[in-house]
Structure 1
Amino acid sequence: MLVASPDYLAQHAAPVEPEDLNDHQCLLLGTVDYARDEWQMKSKSGTATFVPTGPSFSVNDMDAMAVAVRSGAGIGLLAGFSAIDDLRSGKLVRVLPEYHTYERNVYAVYTSRQFVDAKINRYIELLKANVGSQLAATAREFIDR
């Protein structure tokens, strides 16, 4: 989701439409899951692609992005699970709340499927049982509003 600090939004009018992001300092996150050069978003009314232009701040780590956004450097993309505590406390505010990025998958990576320790199997089963429901609860709280 797109987020910014209250301090940043006090100095810059919050965007109403994705095109309004052109008037803002956009903080870019470049990872395997997030393309640095465009933000693909969707809402109940359709999809939007925003291509950030101009000088920008760029990182390849979600935690570094959270620090930059909290410090008031601009508007950035954060995963719901990464932003939820700051949203609840008021350190961050959703920007364009009707838009969000596409859902991502969560993977458990381990060395071998052939010789999986019982502890690993149990841990994966716990992840399957709990992570999805916790992420869904985050979505209901902040994304599906």
Structure 2
Amino acid sequence: MDRLATLDLFIRIVDRGSFSAAAAACGVSRPVATAAIKALESRLGTRLLHRSTRHVRPTMEGDAYYRRCIAILADLEDADRNAAGAVSGVLRVDVVGHLARTILLPAMPDFLARHPALTVHLGEGERFVDLVREGVDCVVRAGALADSEMVACHLGVMEEVTVASPEYLAQHGMPATPEALEGHQMIGFVSSRTGQALPLEFTRGHEVIKVTLPTRLLVSGAETSAAAARQGFGLVQAPRYRFIDDLAIGRLIEVLADFPPTPTPLSVLYPSNRQLSPRVRVFVDWLVEIIGPRLHPGA
């Protein structure tokens, strides 16, 4: 392997903690990867990796070398980009499913037309993603962010809405205030962090009112909660953009519009130990450009 390929292999070994996974990502066999790293350590005169039967981690010298390799390859990619005038390669992104289908995909043709040498691998999910080990470049996530080693770029806030089906409201009535919700039911959206159903939130001025209603149905997926609301299982809260069509045709009705839920921040995250690659940079710039108008059409 040449020196640049070896540097790339070394970075992948540290990222994934595995010779086999890194070798597969680089398209070489494990023996070739092992021999390349042994030759690198021999040339440098120092040990770069601690090896065990289950995991591989960098030594102190290996960690310092890893960080320099990251910077070197990022600078090289930047130089190639400037010389070629194009961003290339595969950009791996993980996005909440409905956001991907509703916001990103309609605008994606323009993004790909701007960068014809770039391929986007769009994953869907709401689970925690280990960007480094899974080889994901960045994720788009909604909600308050926990402290982490990720760099977060704020994209905007999503206006939230409380909705229910006409059939449900015909049976339970239209409440005028949060205090009038006695006798109502909610669709319990289970938090992936706590395993408990999230309460409904309403705002009155600067006051946030949290209400937990009885529920006959607990769900853990956003699409399922929306479908359950259309079928009359109870009240549900979600970003307004998700229900624009439902509200327009009367399939769902907004409830307690004068007491809206707290808005939800939207962010894109990428590893802090990586210099921002040209692929991620152009994607983040594009997200900032499109998110606002599509979350708040007509604003």
| TM-score, shorter chain, exceeding 0.5 | yes
**2:287, 2:192 → 1: CA distance?**
22
Relative distance call for 1:20 and 1:113 in structure 2 (3 A) is: same
Q: Specify the SS of the correspondent of 1:23.
A: coil
CA contact (8 A) 2:184 2:214 kept: no
| 1:108 maps to 2:268 | yes
**Paired residue type of 1:97:** A
Greater alpha carbon shift after TM alignment, 79-88 vs 115-124: 115-124
1:28 equivalent to 2:188? Answer yes
AA partner of residue 287 (structure 2): L
Counterpart amino acid of 1:39? L
1:7 matched to 2:183? The reply is no
- What are the ranges of 5 or more consecutive residues in structure 1 without an aligned counterpart? 141-145
Higher fraction of helix:
2
The alpha carbon displacement at 1:112 in A equals: 5.9
Q: Alpha carbons of 1:80 and 1:113: their partners in 2 closer, same or farther (altered >3 Å)?
A: farther
- How far is the alpha carbon of 1:23 from its aligned partner? 1.2
- In the alignment, structure 1 residue 96 sits paired with structure 2 residue 249: no
CA distance in 2, matches of 1:106, 1:54: 29
- For this pair of structures, how many residues does the alignment match? 138
| Residue matched to 2:24 | none
Task: Report the RMSD for the aligned CA atoms in angstroms.
Answer: 2.7
In structure 2, the CA distance between the partners of 1:27 and 1:123, relative to structure 1 (3 Å rule), is same
Answering whether residue 292 of structure 2 is matched by residue 129 of structure 1, we say no
> Aligned to 1:73, what secondary structure does the other structure show?
coil
Query: Which structure's CA Rg is the greater one?
Result: 2
Q: What is the one-letter code of the residue matched to 1:121? A: R
Confirm whether residue 41 of structure 1 aligns to residue 197 of structure 2: no
TM-score by length of 1: 0.78
Q: Where does structure 2 lack aligned partners over 5 or more consecutive residues?
A: 1-160
Alignment-derived partner of residue 143 in structure 1: none
Q: Residue in 1 aligned with 2:9? A: none
Q: In 1, are the aligned partners of 2:168 and 2:234 still within 8 Å (CA)?
A: yes
Q: Deviations over 1:5-56 (max 9, x none)?
A: 11111222111111221211211223369x735323114x453524324343
Q: Which gives a bigger RCO, structure 1 or 2 (Cα 8 Å, sep 6+)?
A: 1
Q: Evaluate the alpha carbon distance shift between residue 83 and residue 31 of structure 1 in structure 2; reply closer, same or farther with a 3 A threshold.
A: farther
Is residue 238 of structure 2 the alignment partner of residue 78 of structure 1?
Answer: yes
